[in-house]
Copies of this chain bind each other. A is one copy, B any other.
Amino acid sequence: MNDRLARIALMRLAEPGDALMGGLVASLGAQAVVERVRAGRPDPALVRLLTGSAGDDGGGAGGSVGDGGADENDRAGRGAGGGGHDAGGGGAGGSREERIAGRLRRAFASWSARLEPADPRRDLAEGERNGARLVIPGDPEWPTQLDDLGRARPYALWLHGDADLRFSCLRSVALVGSRAATPYGAHVAAEFGAGLSGRGWTVVSGGAYGVDGAAHRGALAGGAPTVAVLACGVDVAYPSAHHQLFTAVRAHGVLVSECPTGSYPTRPRFLIRNRLIAALSRGTVVVEAAVRSGALSTARHALSLNRVLGAVPGPVTSETSAGCHRLIRQGAAVCVTTPEEAIELTGALGADLARESHGPVLPRDELEPETRRVLETVPARGGAGPAAIAVAAGVGMDTALACLGGLAAAGYIERVSRGWRLRPEGPRSPSGR
């Protein structure tokens, strides 16, 4: 079982954002973790691994898994219900090692039970048959900003849609807010979506009614991709009334999920999903939210990930704007009243990153020989998957993926639902899409 299949298995056996699993994967790698879970009980070395210096996970928000609730991502994972393993009896007393050993035993029991029926090969085949693609850390399309999530980083992502996720998110703003949006909130979300998209900025949001849906609809009217991060499988239209909207997002953007295909959303998954919206985008703008809105969890994630945060004010007579006003009053969010102000806020911190996508165009002649061979196999119409391209170019899969990533960054090729194809306009900044 390779890394790709192991990560598909992880999606089945642990809940998204489970910090304990994240810590193990960061230390051992996905394949080794799956093997250990298959072997049954955790061996004592794992406890030492998790309680010792776990600084090798590379994630800024990582740290030790030991004391639950001590770090934000851990809390996020466990607070959402699925990721924690303290819920069962015992484990409260004893030394730190004993507590972690207890959590690990309970986690292994739960993971083993789920591993039994998992069939990663079938999952992969089914997902690809449906038109989706799997991306894992190290893939060219993997959005490296997700590494900021540390131990709560997703194991893998299912993507479905024509846009390249990584490049789409280089200049992106998350628009979040209440499902029960007022007409005012829906209007503002659509205006912001259209304004951002019209200026070449990608909108990132969920797939819910209210602000999410209005933001995507607005974004579809502009020229930039829109990214919908779902709490269900990318093949599951939830809510079903958004079936057409998701079809449109696939054509002009991309659907994203860290859940296995076919899975339905649960309330904890909505909350844990919010960290992806915050982490994918350069900044988050809360369009309309009551003080107890779930959108505020996205805002908290954005802050804990050092992303910029904005909030749109509304009538003080509207409870649905009270969450926005509180964020502004606390100084946690900047008051944002127009799409331009959202861009100003988000662009300021990351001018470097935005420039990355405008990098100097590399003339075709100056490409590395392998890269040029890969480019020559990319079709102008339709699209080809990385495996087919690797075979045709006579390079290994890893080389093909690396070359494709570089070619996309240089503007030669673009992601479509069936793989990669040449950009009709040739090499230029992909931000112009």
Residues of A at the B interface (CB closer than 8 Å) are: 184, 187-188, 312-317, 321-322, 325, 328-329, 334-338, 341
Given contacts A335-B335, A337-B322, whether A187 and B317 have CB atoms under 8 Å apart is yes
Closest to A310 in B: B329
Contact between B312 and A314, CB atoms less than 8 A apart: no
Contact between B313 and A188, CB atoms less than 8 A apart: no
- Expressed in whole angstroms, the Cα–Cα distance for A82 and B346 within the complex equals 45
| Interface-centre pick from A184, A315, A341 (highest chain B CB count, 10 A) | A315
| Across-interface contacts of A329 in B (CB, < 8 A) | 334-337, 341
- Expressed in whole angstroms, the Cα–Cα distance for A341 and B325 within the complex equals 12
Main secondary structure of the interface of A (DSSP, over half): mixed
Contact between A316 and B328, CB atoms less than 8 A apart: no
- Expressed in whole angstroms, the Cα–Cα distance for A313 and B341 within the complex equals 16
Nearest-Cβ distance from residue A328 to partner chain B, whole angstroms = 4
Nearest-Cβ distance from residue A323 to partner chain B, whole angstroms = 11
Copy count, this protein chain:
2
Contact between A313 and B338, CB atoms less than 8 A apart: no
Closest to A287 in B: B316
**20 contacts across the A-B interface (CB closer than 8 A):** A184-B315, A184-B317, A187-B317, A188-B317, A312-B316, A313-B313, A313-B315, A313-B321, A313-B328, A313-B335, A314-B315, A314-B316, A315-B315, A316-B337, A322-B337, A325-B335, A325-B337, A328-B335, A329-B336, A329-B341
- Expressed in whole angstroms, the Cα–Cα distance for A4 and B184 within the complex equals 56
- Expressed in whole angstroms, the Cα–Cα distance for A315 and B316 within the complex equals 9
Closest to A334 in B: B329
- Expressed in whole angstroms, the Cα–Cα distance for A184 and B317 within the complex equals 9
| Across-interface contacts of A317 in B (CB, < 8 A) | 184, 187-188
| Across-interface contacts of A335 in B (CB, < 8 A) | 313, 325, 328-329, 335
Nearest-Cβ distance from residue A278 to partner chain B, whole angstroms = 22
| Across-interface contacts of A188 in B (CB, < 8 A) | 316-317
Contact with A338, one of B315, B316, B328, B337 (Cβ below 8 angstroms) = B316
- Expressed in whole angstroms, the Cα–Cα distance for A165 and B315 within the complex equals 33
| Interface-centre pick from A187, A328, A329, A335 (highest chain B CB count, 10 A) | A335
Nearest-Cβ distance from residue A14 to partner chain B, whole angstroms = 41
- Expressed in whole angstroms, the Cα–Cα distance for A313 and B337 within the complex equals 10
Closest to A184 in B: B315
What are the 9 A-B residue pairs with the smallest beta carbon separation, nearest first? A313-B313, A316-B337, A328-B335, A329-B335, A325-B337, A315-B315, A325-B335, A312-B316, A314-B315
| Across-interface contacts of A328 in B (CB, < 8 A) | 313, 328, 335
- Expressed in whole angstroms, the Cα–Cα distance for A322 and B336 within the complex equals 11
Nearest-Cβ distance from residue A214 to partner chain B, whole angstroms = 14
Contact between B313 and A316, CB atoms less than 8 A apart: yes
| Across-interface contacts of A337 in B (CB, < 8 A) | 316, 322, 325, 329
Closest to A325 in B: B337
| Across-interface contacts of A316 in B (CB, < 8 A) | 188, 312-314, 337-338
- Expressed in whole angstroms, the Cα–Cα distance for A184 and B315 within the complex equals 8
- Expressed in whole angstroms, the Cα–Cα distance for A406 and B325 within the complex equals 43
- Expressed in whole angstroms, the Cα–Cα distance for A205 and B329 within the complex equals 24
| Across-interface contacts of A341 in B (CB, < 8 A) | 329
| Across-interface contacts of A313 in B (CB, < 8 A) | 313-316, 321, 325, 328, 335
| Across-interface contacts of A321 in B (CB, < 8 A) | 313
